[in-house]
Amino acid sequence: MTKLTIHGLSKTYAGDVRAVRKVDLEVESGEFISLLGSSGCGKTTTLQMVAGFVSPTAGTVLVDGEDITHLAPEKRDMGIVFQSYALFPHMTVAQNVGFGLEMRKMKPPQIDERVAEALSMVRLFGLENRYPSEMSGGQRQRVAIARVLAIRPRVLLLDEPMSNLDAKLRGEMHVELRALQRRLGITTILVTHDQIEAMTMSDRIAVMANGVIAELGTPQQIYDHPTSELAFKFLGQANLIEGKISAVNQGIASVGVGGGSITAKIIGAQAGQEIRLYVRPERLRLCPTDQCTIKGKVATRLFLGGIWFYEIESDLGTIRVTVVNAGTTQPREGDVVGITWNEGDLQHVAPEHAHG
């Protein structure tokens, strides 16, 4: 069981380009953490510094308290699965999986045993003599994972390993890889720009932007109660409602929006304050127009199987609403509908946290 500690990790390139800025992160033993963010946010550079492929400008990387910041990659006892899988096309599955063990000068009988064990873990036992070209994308990915597991690394690093798979297979691999990681109890960092991937697989998510961690917490914490606008925008969908507080009574603020007024629970609210409120589409409910908070006209209606997705033009602007498909008749485009919600579902992000 291995704990990974990143302290003050920074990387500055020529021209004063700061790719990563003083990142602090503790990955507990057996924990699965995702670095989530858009291209250029610093997540891949952070992973490469942990792996030893990029030298940090400042900061340290510790494994169980041992400083490995300046160790060569092959001395770090980490396993890395790349986006491209990086399999050798001229080698069989068994040869690919055993390659790292050969480099470690392990004896052939031991290599055979480790290879069989690793292939069994990823459900590829019996395919030892196939070549990568004879396998599907999902199978090739499993080979790449087996190759890493065979060396029994202390830390597993995953660099967008599922981005080349189709959506259905990617979803299946999320479940498989997460189950395998839990079973082995291996400390893991995943780099991804896919919010579903991060939320499905992680114990905690570090949302990155501009080279820093803007938000860190469990998937549910970050989704339901984010402290930054970035997390609201990056994880799932969110409606932004802008307005001005007209009055506050026992923690409930009256907020003037468009041509009307709504109420919301806002800590530290003050009359006259300009405010930005967020609410998730699934927290909104369609209701009869005589029982609603606001009214609107359905501009777009999409059927997505498990849910109906609506865009509704209202005094608050265009509001997105999702409704669970219960097999009942739903409003159509052009219909006037009511929208309501619970006061606590409107969330306010303090200005000092707005941009991470």
3-state helix, strand, coil in the chain (%, to 5): 30, 35, 35
The whole-number pLDDT of residue 350 equals 61
pLDDT over 90 percentage in the chain: 50
**Distance between CA 28 and CA 260 in Å, rounded?**
49
What band does 280 get if pLDDT is binned at 50, 70 and 90? very high
Answer yes or no: do 204 and 99 share one domain.
yes
* Residue 224 scores a pLDDT above 60: yes
Supply the CATH number for residue 315's domain.
2.40.50
Q: Are residues 58 and 143 in the same domain?
A: yes
Res. 356: pLDDT tops 80? no
Q: Average pLDDT of 312-338?
A: 93
Please report, for the domain that includes residue 241, its CATH number. Answer: 2.40.50.100
Q: Are residues 186 and 90 in the same domain?
A: yes
| CATH number of the domain that residue 124 is part of | 3.40.50.300
Pair (104, 227) in one structural domain: yes
The average confidence (pLDDT) of the chain is: 89
Range list of β-strands (E), 176-316: 187-192, 204-209, 212-217, 239-249, 252-257, 260-265, 274-279, 285-287, 294-303, 307-314
Compute the half-sphere exposure of residue 55: CA atoms within 13 Å on the CB side of its CA.
Answer: 4
Residue 170 and residue 314 in one domain: no
Query: Does residue 86 have a pLDDT over 90?
Result: no
- The yes-or-no verdict on residue 353 having pLDDT over 50 is no
Question: Is residue 182 located within the same domain as residue 264?
Answer: no
pLDDT in tens, 108-122: 899 989 999 888 888
Are 67 and 180 contained in the same domain?
yes
Q: How many domains does the chain have?
A: 3
pLDDT of 136 higher than 90: no
pLDDT of residue 351: 53
Tens of pLDDT, residue by residue over 167-208, are: 888 888 888 889 889 988 999 999 999 999 999 999 999 999
Same domain (yes/no): 263, 318: no
Pairwise pLDDT comparison (300 vs 236), residue with the higher score: 300
pLDDT of 126: 86
∠ Cα 324 329 330 (to 5°): 60
Report the percent of the chain where pLDDT is more than 70. Answer: 98
Residue 350 backbone phi and psi in degrees, to 5:
-60, 140
**Do residues 263 and 326 both lie within one domain?**
no
pLDDT band of 252, cuts 50, 70, 90 = confident
Q: Are residues 185 and 168 in the same domain?
A: yes
Range of the domain at 247: 237-284+343-356
Say if residue 231 is exposed, middle or buried (CB neighbours under 10 Å; 0-12, 13-18, 19+).
buried
Same structural domain, 207 and 327: no
Reported as half-sphere exposure (CB side, CA atoms, 13 A), residue 84 has a value of: 4
State the pTM of this model.
0.86
On whether both 300 and 354 belong to a single domain, the answer is no
Domain stops at, among 198, 214, 232: 232
Give alpha helix (H) positions in the chain: 43-51, 93-103, 108-121, 137-150, 167-184, 195-201, 219-224, 229-234
pLDDT at 349 over 80: no
Residue 285: pLDDT over 90: yes
Mind listing the pLDDT tens digit for each residue in 214-223? 999 999 999 9
Residue that finishes a domain, picked among 232, 264, 299: 232
